[in-house]
Amino acid sequence: MLSLYEEFPDDPITQRSAKEEEVEFHFIVSSVPEKRVVDDDCAKDKFELQFMLMPGVALRLLPDGEVTTGGINVCYPHLFHTRQGKTLWDPREIADLEPFKVYRARGSYFFSDIRKEPYVTIWEMLDPLPDPEMEELSAKTAEPVILETSIGQLVLDRTFSTFEGKVDDLGVKVSMWYEGPELLLAGQGNMAKKFKSALNFINNVLSQEYLDSARMLGAEKALPAANRWRHDVAEAEGRPTPAPKLGVEDVYAKLTPTAVNIPHRGNIGVEFDDGYMFGGHPVTVKTKRDGTPTSIEMDV
């Protein structure tokens, strides 16, 4: 058994697992958790177990199930130990796993009819059995999947199912989402066809002019909120009010584009650093795929 099951046998998390039907399975994940400490000044001292997820690449229920690829959720127990304003994130032995390697485990299986995705929960790690098909997938999924575009290469991040790249000339990162059920592998044909709409935007619309247009709409739409925020901060800090009002040009000067997010379908999102007008909260401008800015989103 994983050590957290043995250390916390009466915890509701481990108790819930004990009631589920037992299975054995081979699995491959694209990323694994790390043990780390984070500042958490407001948290009370406590121990807490939670089930966390690793993004799965492939799964086979043993002894003779078919290989499943795509959206797979691999659950494991994770300890959060908070003491004196710091929280230890501790996945224990799960942190020793490696991405894109075949592992065998004993645990439970559940298929979500809502998400149409399988979930497996690890109870115990076992030595893997011979499985040529999974071993071949292990090697193939470890190879980078690359899309060539007019701005350079976009590389698939399997953890988030996004193609990632950076446009140095424009100063922005580009993320293109993949939402299809098919497992993407290096060297597959028709890759550009799968992303025709997104690649058309990248190759023909994404430009300095496009970013400037989105930035101007962001400045115009964010102006009222910027002046409210400016007044509230001055009042809270005991400075004279009403605070001097900003103009569109002032807000425009503060906004700096940082990322362009391209969903599988629908409007594009351009994320702007707020220049600390809103306490560090980004401003996102939505645009059509032809480049026309339409609206903004703000978490303030």
For 50-105, the pLDDT digits (tens) are 999 999 999 999 999 999 998 899 999 999 999 888 999 999 999 999 999 999 99
Does residue 201 contact residue 266 with C-beta atoms inside 8 Å? Answer: no
Backbone conformation region of residue 6, classed left if phi is above 0, alpha if psi is from -120 to 50, else beta: alpha
Mean pLDDT over all residues of the chain? 94
CA distance 132 to 26: 12
Q: What pLDDT score does 109 carry? A: 95
User: Are β-strands 46-62 and 67-83 bridged in parallel, bridged antiparallel, or unpaired?
Assistant: antiparallel
Mark whether 236 and 284 lie in a shared domain: yes
171 in the same domain as 82: no
Q: Give the pLDDT of residue 270.
A: 99
Which of 92, 116, 139 terminates a domain? The answer is 139
Both 277 and 290 in one domain: the answer is yes
Mean pLDDT computed over 28-40: 93
Q: What letter does residue 94 receive in the DSSP assignment?
A: G
12/139 Cα distance (integer angstroms) = 38
- The total number of structural domains in the chain stands at 2
From 100, 122, 139, give the residue that closes a domain: 139
pLDDT at 85: 87
- Mean pLDDT confidence for 225-231: 93
Strand order in the sheet with 283-287: 146-149, 152-157, 162-167, 172-177, 256-262, 268-273, 283-287, 293-298
Percent of the chain having pLDDT more than 90? 79
CB 104 within 8 A of CB 25: yes
Q: Do 158 and 296 share a domain, yes or no? A: yes
Q: What is the pLDDT of residues 39-51, one digit of tens each?
A: 887 778 888 999 9
Residues 128 and 148 in one domain: no
Give the integer Cα–Cα distance in Å for 147 and 153. 6
Q: Indicate the residue among 93, 109, 139 that finishes a domain.
A: 139
**Which pLDDT score, from 0 to 100, does residue 40 have?**
81
The answer to whether residues 158 and 41 belong to one domain is no
pLDDT at 241 over 90: no
Digit-coded pLDDT (tens) for 109-150: 999 898 889 999 999 999 999 999 999 999 999 999 999 999
Helices marked H in the chain — which ranges? Answer: 3-7, 12-18, 132-142, 191-194, 196-204, 208-236, 248-254
Q: Are residues 134 and 274 in the same domain?
A: no
| pLDDT, mean of residues 235-239 | 89
| pLDDT at res. 55 | 96
Three-state DSSP class for residue 57: strand
Q: 170 and 96 in one domain?
A: no
In the beta sheet, which residues pair with residue 50? Answer: 78
Do the Cβ atoms of 218 and 258 come closer than 8 Å?
A: no
Indicate the burial class of 41 (C-beta count within 10 angstroms; 0-12, 13-18, 19 or more): exposed
Structural domain span for residue 262? 143-300
Give the separation between CA 193 and CA 202, rounded to whole angstroms.
14
**Predicted pLDDT at 44:** 85
Q: What digits encode the pLDDT tens for the residues 179-220? A: 888 899 998 877 888 899 999 999 999 999 999 999 999 999
The backbone torsions φ and ψ at residue 121, rounded to the nearest 5 degrees and listed phi first, read -115, 130
Same domain? 134 vs 191: no
Give the pLDDT of residue 15. Answer: 86
- The reply to whether 89 and 12 lie within a common domain is yes
The reply to whether 26 and 173 lie within a common domain is no
Q: Are residues 233 and 119 in the same domain?
A: no
